[in-house]
Amino acid sequence: MSTEASADSVIRQHVYWSVGAGLVPVPIADFVAVTAVQLDLIRQLCTLYGVSYEEGTGKVWVGALTGGAVARLGASAIKAIPGIGSILGAVSMSIASGASTYAVGQVVKSHLMGGGTMANLDVERRRVPEAREAGEAPRLGRHHRGRVRGQEGRAAEERVRSTFGTTSPRLTR
C-alpha cells in the first residue's frame, strides 16, 4: 500500500473515531475527546511521513485548522438541554467533528506530502483552498482586477454573478 493510501486509511479511521467521540453525551467531554483524536491523527500522519511530532505544535495546528471550534462547542453545549437537546447536540457534534477531522487530516497529509514539517505549516495558505471547497463565494474584488480578461473571462465572471447574485459585496469591482 502506498504512503498516500495509508494516510487516507489513517484519516478515515480517525474520522470514524471523531464521529463516535461526538456522540459522547457529556457536554465539553465530547469536544476534548475529538481534540485528542485529531492530535492522534496528526501524530500518526507525522510518523507515516517520517516527520518528528511535537505535541505542542500539534495542539496549535488543531486550534488553527479547526476554526469551527466555536460551532463544535455550541453543538456540545446543546447537549445540556434535556430531551431534544441531547439528540440534536449529538447529531450536530458528530457531523462537525467528523468533518473537521477529515479537513485536518487532508491539510496535514498535503503539507507532509509536500515535504513540510511540524515547524513550517502556513495555516492561512492551507485554509484558503479548503474554504473554497466548502462553498465560499469566489472573490472578484480589487485583487482580481485584470485577471479576468477576454470573452472567456467575462463569461466566467457572469456565471459567478448569476450564481451568487449581483448584490454581493464580494462581487463588486
Closest CA to 53 of 34, 37, 32, 39: 39
pLDDT of residue 18: 93
Q: Which DSSP category does 143 fall into?
A: G
pLDDT of residue 106: 93
Block means of pLDDT (10 residues each) for the chain, length 173 residues? Answer: 91 95 84 91 94 86 72 69 78 86 92 87 59 44 42 56 51 44
Q: Which DSSP category does 139 fall into?
A: P
Sign for the CA dihedral angle at 32, 50, 67, 8 comes to negative
Q: How far apart are the first and last CA of the chain?
A: 49
| 168/17 Cα distance (integer angstroms) | 39
Sign for the CA dihedral angle at 110, 61, 38, 53 comes to positive
Query: Does the model's pTM come out above 0.95?
Result: no
pLDDT of residue 168: 41
CB 48 within 8 A of CB 131: no
